[in-house]
Amino acid sequence: MTIETGGGGATTVPRIVSGELDFAFGNVVSLMVAREQGLPLTVVANGMTTTGDAETDYSALVVPEGSDITAPAQLQDATVAIDNLRNIGDTSVRNSVRLDGGDADHVDFVELAFPDMVGAMDNGQIDAAWVVEPFLTIALEQGATPIAANFVELDPELSIATYFTGDELIASDPDTVDAFTEAMNASLVYAEEHPDETSQILTTFTEIDPELIDQLRWPRFETEIDRGALETVADLMVTDGLIDSAPDLDTFIR
């Protein structure tokens, strides 16, 4: 087995379809969009789940220090940074705005890389940002205020990202796929039970400051993929026009 890092869904999905990669990690919104476009992809294991608790979740919608905005409903006509347009960021942020009674159709989303968001908030280029770790902790350290836990509000059991494969591999080599699912589930259980080891592994493939690593908020490493939460995501995606109809979850997840 070799682990490759680098490249988001735009690079991993075609490589799964072409059979060059066997398994990849991607968020559920990207996968549902890809499925609707007819790409033969199936989820084989959970990746990470929100903690379900706004105080500890690894993802949040934040505003800069001194901002007048205190709740998602006030984001109407505000500029909000997300890492990818028409993906899980805007879908979940729109949901938070709606839940708070705001007008989700009039939020101006701009695409920025996570590392650039805190700086853009400081410069006043954006009014709010959706950030995930390690940039959530960095943002909070620099005085940002969380105004919504977008994933928790979407569903406290939401699986944000999952491992997936191509249907061709499932047909040709189901044993390998089974083995992968089993191994991933074992590793998820281990990661959840050994948080210290899990955070230490970050020092081997990232450059996150060791002091920062101790403060990071983590997702939950859960083996179950909650279908109710995925149905909620799919409905929101239909509402926002990302897909025309909700996928059949029985074939979406193996």
Nearer to other proteins, 114 or 252 (CB): 114
Nearer to other proteins, 205 or 244 (CB): 205
Query: Which residues lie below 8 Å from residue 249, measured CB to CB, with a gap of 6+?
Result: 227, 230, 231, 234
Query: What tokens does 11 get?
Result: 């690079």
Q: Find the shortest distance in angstroms from Cβ 209 to other proteins.
A: 7
Nearer to other proteins, 2 or 245 (CB): 2
Q: Find the shortest distance in angstroms from Cβ 212 to other proteins.
A: 7
Q: Find the shortest distance in angstroms from Cβ 202 to other proteins.
A: 8
Nearer to other proteins, 216 or 243 (CB): 216
Query: Which residues lie below 8 Å from residue 89, measured CB to CB, with a gap of 6+?
Result: 82, 83, 109, 130, 150
Using DSSP's 3-state secondary structure scheme, residue 146 falls into strand
Q: Find the shortest distance in angstroms from Cβ 11 to other proteins.
A: 5
Looking at residue 12, its amino acid is T
Nearer to other proteins, 136 or 236 (CB): 136
Pairing of strands 128-132, 59-63: antiparallel
Determine the distance from the C-alpha atom of residue 81 to the mean position of all C-alpha atoms in its chain, rounded to a whole number: 15
Q: Find the shortest distance in angstroms from Cβ 200 to other proteins.
A: 15
Q: CA 93, 99, 101, 105: dihedral to nearest 10 degrees?
A: 40
> Residues interacting with other proteins, by CB under 8 A?
4-7, 11, 14-15, 18, 20-21, 113-115, 119, 122, 134-135, 138, 142, 205-209, 212
